[in-house]
Structure 1
């Protein structure tokens, strides 16, 4: 039972709500922090609403970077196939990782932890794709 409690604590700490840029360099939009700072959003509904808007922003950022990388790959079909494979693997990992957070979470705060899991993974991947072909 102690091991399960430690797993839950570790999972929840890993996806705790973050500011516009987390210590590990995860970049969020300035609008996200402003949204979270509004007094009306100091509850679960408000936090999830802010998170939904940020998720849409980060998802668009990720898709833009992915499409740009695919368009810029000079190495041709082999490199493009590798990027596609890595993107599919990342999606599977993200979904499995956040499913673990969902399974370990409970109560009314669980949706926030799960949303933050998806949000942090997506923001990190967007940054990785933006940096992929930088000189």
Structure 2
């Protein structure tokens, strides 16, 4: 699991087990490590703001992840199309195979298991966001 995924998971799961009154009284300063990781992954600040505002409610955390995943998946698809257009036929086939392999690996890595609990769902959703952002960044960097 990517370190950024572990950080997100630790924060989210830690908040899950806090009382509502404790969470409502929390005003945590931004974690500089988390901010740096988000910037490196090119996650939007609105994602962290959404996570912070969720008060660790699973449906809200999953909605935050869903929204950021959609954004990151759009970045990935755009980069893939641009990169593909710049390649010859043999390179396109190689890229296609590489992408299929990456998708299969992400599916395995980010699986929430057969009978997931709330924490598993959060970890899985976070993993999807992080791994998709990483892949988008990788493809974007190859365009340069």
Shorter-chain TM-score bucket reads 0.7 to 0.9
- Write the deviation string for residues 55-107 of structure 1: whole angstroms up to 9, x where unpaired: 1001101000000101122xx101111111101110011111122xx239953
- Write the deviation string for residues 107-134 of structure 1: whole angstroms up to 9, x where unpaired: 3211100101111110100000000121
Q: TM-score, normalised by structure 2?
A: 0.71
Residue 15 (str. 1) matches residue 5 (str. 2)? yes
The structure-2 alpha-carbon separation of the partners of 1:116 and 1:48, relative to structure 1 and needing over 3 Å to count, comes to: same
- Equivalent pair of 1:51/1:119 in contact (CA under 8 Å): yes
What's 1:82 paired with? 94
Residue 61 (str. 1) matches residue 75 (str. 2)? yes
Q: TM-score, normalised by structure 1?
A: 0.75
Residue 119 (str. 1) matches residue 133 (str. 2)? no
- Report the count of equivalent residues: 118
Q: In the aligned structure 2, how far is the partner of 1:89 from the partner of 1:106?
A: 25
What's 1:107 paired with? 117
Residue 96 (str. 1) matches residue 96 (str. 2)? no
- The alignment's C-alpha RMSD in Å is 2.6
What's 2:29 paired with? none
- Equivalent pair of 2:79/2:140 in contact (CA under 8 Å): yes
| Residues 23-38 of structure 1: pairs in structure 2 closer than 5 A | 25-38=40-53
Q: What 5-or-longer segments of structure 1 have no aligned partner?
A: 1-10
Q: Secondary structure at the match of 2:71?
A: helix
